[in-house]
Amino acid sequence: MLTSKEWDIVTRTTLFASLGPEDLEKLFDKSPVLALRRNQQLFSEGDPANLLFLVLDGQVKLSRLAPEGAEAVVHVFGPGETFAEAAMFMGGRYPVTATAVTAARLVGVSNERLKALVLVKPEIAFAMLASMARHLKVLVAQIEQMKLLTTRQRAIRFLLDHCGRTGGAATFALPHDKALIANRLGMKAETFSRALASLSDYGVAVVGGKVSIEDVNRLVLLLDD
């Protein structure tokens, strides 16, 4: 089911990088490969959780949904990233909803097999713990941002986090819809739009999802207000 390029992704994923070919073979044998279309739901809050997922292509968001249709995006995962590891230790139910942001391909990994593998090869428990520790750190950073920074500062930090440089000029593409980015940052799309607009005075231009920053250092200074 997996192409050879996709196998490359699997073997490079931090969660599985420590495993030998034979273990990988066992783990992924007959594993379901899913093709999701944009906006298709993978699982909902409260669904029984038997699989964790590795993104092969596209993007998947995890979110909590409020009754009236409002949603709180918790994280967005891209190729090579795994999610829902935690569910297998939380009473076997997913605590969030997973939805494809773009068309996406994923492979599901059996919780049971992974647990069995941990008992045989404890080293991979470290990989799982490291993976979850990473997620924890991301969430902590998110909480910190929302509590301490203004919408403008959050927008700036988002740009800084994604420009891939620490100084000089930079150009890059936004990873997804502005509405989704806004939600990740804990603000409304309109507010995010205005925040970006307010940065045009400081050498930031955003057109059609492409960002160009004249001088990254100037943005860093703006963070202090």
Partner DNA sequence: CGGTTATTTGACGGGTATCAAACACCGTGG
Partner DNA sequence: CCACGGTGTTTGATACCCGTCAAATAACCG
Interaction site with DNA (CB under 7 A)? 150-152, 177-179, 186-194, 196-197, 206-209
Q: Where does this chain touch a second copy (CB under 8 A) — which range of 24-32, 35-43, 70-78, 98-106?
A: 70-78
Q: Which of 1, 17, 35, 90 binds a second copy (CB under 8 A)?
A: 90
Contacts with 16 (C-beta within 8 Å, 6 or more apart), sequence order: 10, 24, 27, 54, 124, 127
Phi (first) and psi of residue 46, to 5 degrees: 95, -15
122 contact, one of DNA, a second copy, none, CB 5-8 Å limit per kind:
a second copy
Does residue 221 belong to the site contacting a second copy (CB under 8 A)? no
Residue among 73, 38, 64, 63 at smallest CA distance from 187? 73
Are the CB atoms for 45 and 99 separated by under 8 Å?
A: no
Nearer to a second copy, 104 or 117 (CB): 117
Does residue 69 belong to the site contacting a second copy (CB under 8 A)? no
> By CB under 8 A, what part of segment 182-211 binds a second copy?
183, 186
What token pair was written down for 138?
Answer: 């991301």
d(CA 94, CA 87): 5
183 contact, one of a second copy, DNA, none, CB 5-8 Å limit per kind:
a second copy
Does residue 148 belong to the site contacting a second copy (CB under 8 A)? yes
